[in-house]
Structure 1
């Protein structure tokens, strides 16, 4: 139960539903236990009046006696029916409160997990598979809900029913009660032993289910790669192997349940036999009446469901504990990138200063930046050029504080980004990532993601500046066109330009473009660069690229190689150095000339 203790705050938040649910449970049980009491009274009434009825069988009083007795039996019959209906009504209210409570807890728990995911840093998502994250917020939460609702409902009903029924049985005959309940110690040991097995198997099942979800998610996301390499069969076998492991574990748990439930039913059967056998001798000895024996048999049968539900509750509780343990593991992880206690709100002007920045990726150990020093004044345009793996994207992610450097400082204006509010920091910077991501929504809403309050006119203006408006208007639904998951219906260039439009509509003072024109043709690239040059007139811009934009006049160009700045200056200054930049420019010009010649 130590893992499930994390749910106590949710129970407190829904305490009135819980209290009402338990109250309705108690009322329902009280009405249900009146029924065997009335059955006892009927049997005793029959036993007491049977001899008298036989004596009157040859007299004129026989009819009157039978009529009176019939009315008494009718009263008891109607009373038993009324109590049954009342018991059922409060049972309905019990379900309406406790099951509804579990749905509220499920809602709150899913939101807590989702919000926690939102707060985690990029390293967390690199270390955990998407399928596993999805499994914990869906399958694991569903298992926990079964504990917070049905398990609580069955457990409370079981406990209250056992306490009340055992009390009533002791009032009738303690010795017979002792014999009737004698199988319980065996039952308790059985439950304890089986619970441990169920908990262990449930943990394994949930882990294997997460693996299946991860495999499926990766296969769906990478279906183009799977098809292009003709790996459908291999992918299918991989999924089949994972499914087989899950199936075998599930069958193993089902076998445990299959043995557990009949064993508990056997214990109940033994109790019924002992009740009838020992109770019969008690009736013969005159210690109890026939009505008491009938009452006892009904009590034992009333206890059958509670005792059988012990196994069900134990199974649900153990599965929920295993799932909540997995959830707690994630909820206990604190993000490395978070607001510091001394974090403050700052209005940025656009200055960027890196002082001796060294950064190593914690999950790979690769040092991406080494002692980088950079100074950019507000309003300047800076190009960052370098080979693949030189640290260009890492530099961009440090500026928006996706990571913190191990050494040195990242400063915006005169403020260390570690002591700025994250939300306020990122709200003042537009970042166009190298890996474009579009949501399964309309084109307008994907652009409006940069500014949810933007009007349609602003969306159209941003699309025009990103040179994608003509493409959008060419679709049958225009800006309302649904683009599918990850923008699957669009070309690579269209996705990049919509991503640029999303950044432009935000209209910040600092903009970072991370190789965001790699999928567009030369003519579109020139058009976008022309639009950006006018748009970025008074803004600070960092443009990361592997190509040289000769049409864009940069205030500063830096060249990264193996995480270090090896060249820095203007276009003309770097050409005069005759280094990597000059070599890249010469190759690019040669390639342009060749393409023109062709």
Structure 2
């Protein structure tokens, strides 16, 4: 019953609806006592030969009236109990989704996407069942069981009632033992479902790669093993769950046997009539549901409790990126002073950045180059406040970026990562993602700056062309250019292109960079790239290796240093000549 204590805040909030539902459940329980008694009366009148047509019509009218009232009252309690439980699911789902949007990178590294999806769907459904089916089952079993036992005692015979109830304590013991085992096994079933969900999400997202490498059969086999594990774990759940009904049936069977034996004795002694025994047996039949409900209740509560604990664990996770109480709300503006002595990723002893120092005047462009894994993206992650724990400081306009609110900082930084993400909607909606009501003219202007406008106009539906999930229908270069256009829409004070031109040809790259230099002469730009041509016109270029700056200066300065930069420049120039000769 601990789950009800955990959900106490919700039941208190919706107490009016639940009280209304339970009151009408009580009315239904009272009405259900009428038919067995009427049947008993009719049986007695038949046995005594006193039943007339008028009497039969009268009792049948009572039965119809009871059925009508029961129908109406059932509708009312269903609306109040089931309808209110849907509110709980909505509240928790909204709370969980908002929580996801507030968490930092560490959170999403810790939890897999499939796990988070399982928590937001399967687990919340189980919690909703506690507030719906759980409340119904608990209240209905108590009300129906209680009123039925009272009717058995008052209408028929208290001695026969006690005898019929003798086996029932065994039910409480069996339910407790089975319920504890059910809770443990359901945790395993939920974990297996999360694994399967994560595998499905990963396979669907990576289907292109799977097909390219011809790994369809292997991937199907792996998914089959995941589903097999889900079935295996759920079988363990159902083996326990399936014991509830036979246990209840056996115990109720004992009750029936005792009732028939003792009922026959009481009829022979004249203590009760045949009609009263018939009514009593019908009342015992009514007790079957409350007894079954107890087993069902344990199932619902154990599933709901395990699921709620899993969701609560997620909600208790705290982002390591925390805004100060008096954080600056003004928009970032001015020069950048980047001074990092040392930075390591959480739970890693490897130093990702060390002695990274540079200054960038407003309106200037910084180029960042280096081999893969050198630390270029790590520099940007600190600028974007994906991580706040490092030795050193990053100043924007003479203010530490950790002193700004996240909105003041991030809403004025346009970031285009290496792995572009496009939503499965139209090109227009992707470009104006940060401003859904932006006029078409502004959308096209951003597209022209990134040399994608002509490509879009050649598509069947122009800017209304749907790109598919993650932009599956577009080429790599088209996705990159649309992503850059999306970043430009906010007119960012700082634009970061993290190897965002790698998939476009040299001519298109030069066109885009020239347009950006002209358009953003008063804003700051940082470009990370593998191609030297992407950064050669920057005001300053830094070469990163093993998380440290090993070379710096203008393009001309770096060529004179005869280091890695010149080696890469010469190598790429040679490649271009070879490619030109091949053409």
Query: Normalised by the size of structure 2, how large is the TM-score?
Result: 0.95
Which residue in 2 is equivalent to 1:356? Answer: 340
Question: 2:537 is paired with a residue of what secondary structure?
Answer: coil
1:101 is aligned to 2:84: yes
Q: Deviations over 1:469-525 (max 9, x none)?
A: 011001010000011111011000000000000011111211111110000011111
Contact 1:529–1:552 (8 Å) recurs in 2: no
Separation (CA, whole Å) in 2 of partners of 1:540 and 1:163: 75
Contact 2:3–2:301 (8 Å) recurs in 1: no
Q: 1:320 Cα shift? A: 1.6
**Which of these residues, 561, 564, 569, is aligned with residue 577 of structure 1?**
561
User: Which stretch shows the higher mean deviation, 511-520 or 359-368?
Assistant: 359-368
**Which of these residues, 129, 135, 144, is aligned with residue 127 of structure 2?**
144
Q: 1:5 Cα shift? A: 4.0
Which residue in 1 is equivalent to 2:24? Answer: 24
User: Which stretch shows the higher mean deviation, 567-576 or 437-446?
Assistant: 567-576
Residues paired across the two proteins, number: 581
Separation (CA, whole Å) in 1 of partners of 2:266 and 2:394: 88
Question: 1:138 is paired with a residue of what secondary structure?
Answer: helix
User: Which stretch shows the higher mean deviation, 389-398 or 11-20?
Assistant: 11-20
Q: 1:591 Cα shift? A: 3.0
1:306-321 matches, within 5 Å, as 306-321=290-305
1:158 is aligned to 2:144: no
Separation (CA, whole Å) in 2 of partners of 1:364 and 1:139: 33
Contact 1:351–1:376 (8 Å) recurs in 2: yes
**Which of these residues, 405, 410, 424, is aligned with residue 440 of structure 1?**
424
Q: 1:207 Cα shift? A: 0.6
Q: Deviations over 1:181-205 (max 9, x none)?
A: 1111111111011111211111111
Structure 1 96/401 Cα, relative in aligned 2: closer, same or farther at 3 Å? same
Separation (CA, whole Å) in 1 of partners of 2:325 and 2:234: 47
Which residue in 2 is equivalent to 1:256? Answer: 240
Question: 1:323 is paired with a residue of what secondary structure?
Answer: helix
Separation (CA, whole Å) in 2 of partners of 1:486 and 1:76: 68
**Which of these residues, 369, 380, 386, is aligned with residue 370 of structure 2?**
386
Structure 1 551/44 Cα, relative in aligned 2: closer, same or farther at 3 Å? closer
User: Which stretch shows the higher mean deviation, 396-405 or 183-192?
Assistant: 396-405
Contact 2:528–2:535 (8 Å) recurs in 1: no
Which residue in 1 is equivalent to 2:308? Answer: 324
Which residue in 2 is equivalent to 1:132? Answer: 115
Which residue in 1 is equivalent to 2:397? Answer: 413
Question: 2:532 is paired with a residue of what secondary structure?
Answer: coil
Separation (CA, whole Å) in 1 of partners of 2:497 and 2:39: 83
1:493-572 matches, within 5 Å, as 493-549=477-533, 553-572=537-556
Question: 2:373 is paired with a residue of what secondary structure?
Answer: coil
Contact 2:20–2:80 (8 Å) recurs in 1: yes
Which residue in 2 is equivalent to 1:117? Answer: 100
Which residue in 2 is equivalent to 1:8? Answer: 8
**Which of these residues, 168, 173, 183, is aligned with residue 184 of structure 1?**
168
1:86 is aligned to 2:69: yes
Separation (CA, whole Å) in 2 of partners of 1:354 and 1:287: 96
Q: Deviations over 1:132-168 (max 9, x none)?
A: 1111111111222222212221221111111212222
Contact 1:357–1:405 (8 Å) recurs in 2: no
Which residue in 2 is equivalent to 1:63? Answer: none
Separation (CA, whole Å) in 1 of partners of 2:334 and 2:530: 24
Question: 2:489 is paired with a residue of what secondary structure?
Answer: helix
Structure 1 570/362 Cα, relative in aligned 2: closer, same or farther at 3 Å? same
Q: Which consecutive unaligned segments of at least 5 residues does structure 1 have?
A: 54-65
Q: Deviations over 1:438-464 (max 9, x none)?
A: 010000000011322311111111001
Separation (CA, whole Å) in 2 of partners of 1:324 and 1:102: 14
Q: Which consecutive unaligned segments of at least 5 residues does structure 2 have?
A: none
Separation (CA, whole Å) in 1 of partners of 2:534 and 2:39: 98
Separation (CA, whole Å) in 2 of partners of 1:38 and 1:3: 40
Q: 1:73 Cα shift? A: 3.1
Separation (CA, whole Å) in 2 of partners of 1:554 and 1:238: 49
Separation (CA, whole Å) in 1 of partners of 2:476 and 2:348: 29
Question: 1:460 is paired with a residue of what secondary structure?
Answer: helix
Separation (CA, whole Å) in 2 of partners of 1:41 and 1:210: 57
Q: 1:40 Cα shift? A: 4.2
Which residue in 2 is equivalent to 1:75? Answer: 58
Question: 1:549 is paired with a residue of what secondary structure?
Answer: helix
Separation (CA, whole Å) in 2 of partners of 1:342 and 1:366: 34
Question: 1:144 is paired with a residue of what secondary structure?
Answer: helix
Q: 1:97 Cα shift? A: 1.9
Separation (CA, whole Å) in 2 of partners of 1:86 and 1:406: 70
Which residue in 2 is equivalent to 1:56? Answer: none
Query: Normalised by the size of structure 1, how large is the TM-score?
Result: 0.92
Separation (CA, whole Å) in 2 of partners of 1:252 and 1:149: 25
Structure 1 190/112 Cα, relative in aligned 2: closer, same or farther at 3 Å? same
User: Which stretch shows the higher mean deviation, 337-346 or 202-211?
Assistant: 337-346
Contact 1:512–1:543 (8 Å) recurs in 2: yes
Separation (CA, whole Å) in 2 of partners of 1:479 and 1:535: 23
Contact 1:3–1:325 (8 Å) recurs in 2: no
1:586-597 matches, within 5 Å, as 586-597=570-581
Separation (CA, whole Å) in 2 of partners of 1:419 and 1:182: 71
